[in-house]
Structure 1
């Protein structure tokens, strides 16, 4: 059972962990969690003299009629607290289904825009221990047997490779936060959607789904990430910019590391934001333990074993031709981020890799004839790499939301593919 943790003590400890004087953007909805976070951080800075500054941001999701009024309430609260504040509205059409996930994407995208505009070093959210339990319960209900999601939310997550999301209240209960607000006479807003059972999180909360959350799960996941990163560093080699070769000693790794590493490579090389499901990963492990020559495809990745060596690359199927508008940046095939530096409309289509080495397995050589991005003018003329466009590896498994647990592994995969490390975490 969680020992009662004071929001004020937690805020003080959190501010003390920041590696430098920081400008923090606090996400404030007006609910008890984020309101308590803002007040606790402000009090800690005033009381203990931390060299940090706070700015508040509210995202109006425009999903309920009262949302604009609630955003205005937060604006007035921040004015009383003498905290600079921003409001952004999620405009445009809303999805008919998957609203929580879409709202989450929109919210963090808007928060990141505000952070960039005001020069914030990190975004801080009010996720609590209650949220952590609900998150683990939801993931457990649909997890495969790898159970990576049972580590819960990380205290820090890198969003879109550009700004860190920090969650200092993951060990603080919602009731402790509300008690602290009552003690200072501060009210909060109760969002009626928190009682809407059409949302999975609400059902988990109301049904009191039992979950045995172990805080050490995050440490185990981080250790697995580091061990897998070390394994890749010792045994993985990039060939022709798109094929990863695992040497004969790679397959002798402990099963947990081998499984995690090969599933990670399959997702990244296949351009997918999630690792293969458990049954598909079982087939991958069967290939790793097989004798002789064999191959399979999963998650868009072709895996070829020749004797004791494994080759992994994108399979030649389902690759699209896409327009690249003037001065635009798009992700092509989930694997490459391509920027058009011209005022012309360009076109991205699957092309051949050079060189295609003759000693590679036949299936790999065949795939390599049509899995690399080729840039053309509207006329069809090939645009050679240079000043007109820029291309860099994209890692869909890590590049949108990267929990601190997985930084070591993400950095190792990025290094193998020729990309630099992630932004340093501020705590």
Structure 2
């Protein structure tokens, strides 16, 4: 027995709206961003999110990325603009310009899309971006991962993978419990239209092959060749996805057991970690401490975790981070030696304009002509007060601190002396470890983001 289309649509929209209510705030100033491709999934999310935004008193900003990969992409953008306007949402477009890679195009396009969406969302002041992934996307990602893909797992609430563009930004996927076919059926019944991207049927791409392999069975129930999925399912629908287990990316986690750690060391340079730290938590710590975006190799991470668990004293480097294990104390921080082998680019600072240096610090100068660079090789030239501050952190970490230089200045100065400095690692780690569950958590102060005032 089938439900009346209006009832089914209302139930579907109601489930999605409930997930929005569970995560997002009402009647607050920052807007909510929504990634709008024009496909059926994002068009369905636009309809539900726009209704939710009106009732919640929130501004909704739809963001469309033109990848420049299709001759009809301009028409797609115009379709998205009209849809956003009809739904009462604001609309922004970003374009992926420049040369496109010959190999690895889907991954490169995904990275560019996340970065462009993150930049646009931060520009309008949004803290959360809505994405229209469904249960089908989860199954397809799992299918691809079981065949060697390094694609990260999809979670309802996770940090933006774009770094540093997505700093402090969360992604909300409120439709992971819904099937693609149900969303399109609902759109069709309500008179909405959407774009069908022919690239989705291109067998050169793993995502397209996954869709073919996971076609719904004739009766429309279940997924053929389905793999494990962590997407929420609706009880009794016969659409559970079971199979092989995978280890998700450390930055794509829902709330886990809290990692045992102390507050960041002064100036944001590192963390003290309990030896029993879990493997994915340690991976997240390494990336946050180093400012990197490439997860450490699994085999090397497993060996490092085993050494920690065994109580061994050692010094090691991994993913641009340094691990110092001595007795019960384990410290993780930036490996300053990496800045000799692969220097972080110097950045010319503009007064009042924030810049991210080495993926770890957001620096806003108060005066013109300052350049931020690494302290390594310049420590002895610092003033006596600055050296006293530097001495509050382990010796091996000091060279990774940011200092400011400029023509005519007698010596470098610690960046905190002449600029507003925010350490990005504490908040990045908090979000990576699943310590936030909703938008209101993003307003709280994270200890360690700014240096203790008594240091200066």
TM-score norm. by structure 1 comes to: 0.74
User: 1:290 Cα shift?
Assistant: 4.5
Alignment partner of 1:325 is 2:372: no
How do residues 204-283 of structure 1 correspond to structure 2 at under 5 angstroms?
204-208=210-214, 210-215=226-231, 222-224=254-256, 226-228=257-259, 231-233=260-262, 238=265, 242-246=269-273, 250-251=274-275, 253=276, 257-283=277-303
For residue 382 of structure 2, what is the aligned residue in structure 1?
none
| Residue 335 (structure 1) aligned with residue 360 (structure 2) | yes
Residues 12-70 of structure 1, C-alpha deviation per residue, up to 9 Å, x if partnerless?
Answer: 42454343136544332221111222234456678xx5545544443322221100012
Partner of 2:45 in structure 1? 37
| Correspondence for 1:311 among 298, 312, 331 | 331
1:169-180 paired onto structure 2 within 5 Å: 169-180=175-186
Distance 1:143 1:64, change over 3 A: closer
Structure 2 partner of 1:391: 421
Q: Which runs of 5+ in 2 are unaligned?
A: 1-7, 215-224, 233-244, 380-386, 452-456
The residue that corresponds to 2:100 in the other structure is 95
**Residue in structure 1 matched with residue 220 of structure 2 by the alignment:** none
Aligned length: 388
8 Å contact kept, 1:322–1:349: no
What is the rounded CA distance, in whole Å, between the counterparts of 2:306 and 2:53 in structure 1? 56
In 2, Cα distance between the equivalents of 1:132 and 1:52? 29
Partners of 2:125 and 2:323 in 1: CA distance: 44
Distance of aligned partners of 1:291 and 1:402 in 2 relative to their CA distance in 1, 3 Å threshold: closer
In 1, Cα distance between equivalents of 2:203 and 2:431:
29
Q: Is the CA contact (8 Å cut-off) linking 1:55 and 1:83 kept in structure 2?
A: no
Q: Return the offset for 1:190.
A: 0.6
C-alpha displacement at 1:357, in angstroms? Answer: 6.4
Q: Give the secondary-structure state (helix, strand or coil) at the position aligned to 1:284.
A: helix
Measured at CA, do residues 371 and 70 of structure 1 come closer, stay the same or move farther in structure 2, by a change above 3 Å?
closer
Instruction: Report if the CA contact (8 A) 1:57-1:111 is conserved.
Output: yes
Cα shift at 1:329:
3.9
**CA distance in structure 1 between the partners assigned to 2:213 and 2:19 by the alignment:** 32
Whole-Å separation in 1 of the counterparts to 2:268 and 2:48? 49
What's the CA shift for 1:121?
6.4
Contact 1:58 1:88 in 2 (8 A): yes
Deviation at 1:258, TM superposition (A): 4.0
In 2, Cα distance between equivalents of 1:137 and 1:389: 48
Match runs of 1:346-361 below 5 Å: 346-351=371-376, 352=379, 354=388
Structure 1 residues 38 and 289: alpha-carbon distance in aligned structure 2, compared to 1, 3 A threshold: closer
> What is the 5 A alignment of 1:57-72?
57-72=63-78
Contact kept? 1:56, 1:86, Cα under 8 Å: yes
For 1:248-295, what per-residue CA distance to the aligned partner results, in whole angstroms no more than 9, with x for missing partners? xx33x4xxx443444333332233224422211222123324466432
> Which consecutive residues of structure 1, in runs of 5 or more, have no partner in the other structure?
421-427
- How far apart are 1:174 and its partner, in Å? 0.6
Where does residue 284 of structure 1 map in the other structure?
Answer: 304
TM-score, normalised with respect to structure 2: 0.70
Instruction: Give the deviation of 1:172 after TM superposition.
Output: 0.9
Residue 168 of structure 1, CA deviation: 1.6
Distance in 2, matches of 1:205 and 1:157, equals 26
Task: Call closer, same or farther: CA 1:14–1:322 in 2, change over 3 Å.
Answer: closer
Check 1:52–1:196 CA distance in 2 against 1; reply closer, same or farther (3 A cut). Answer: same
Structure 1 residue 239: Cα displacement: 6.0
Q: Deviations over 1:323-377 (max 9, x none)?
A: 322415443333323333332152413334756769x9xxx63x34533222211
**CA offset at residue 178 of structure 1?**
1.0
Secondary structure of the equivalent of 1:132? Answer: helix
For the Cα contact (< 8 Å) 2:62–2:90, is it kept in 1?
yes
What is the CA–CA distance in structure 1 between the aligned matches of 2:264 and 2:32, rounded to whole Å? 40
**111-120 vs 270-279, which moves further:** 111-120
Q: 2:140 aligns with which of 134, 146, 150?
A: 134
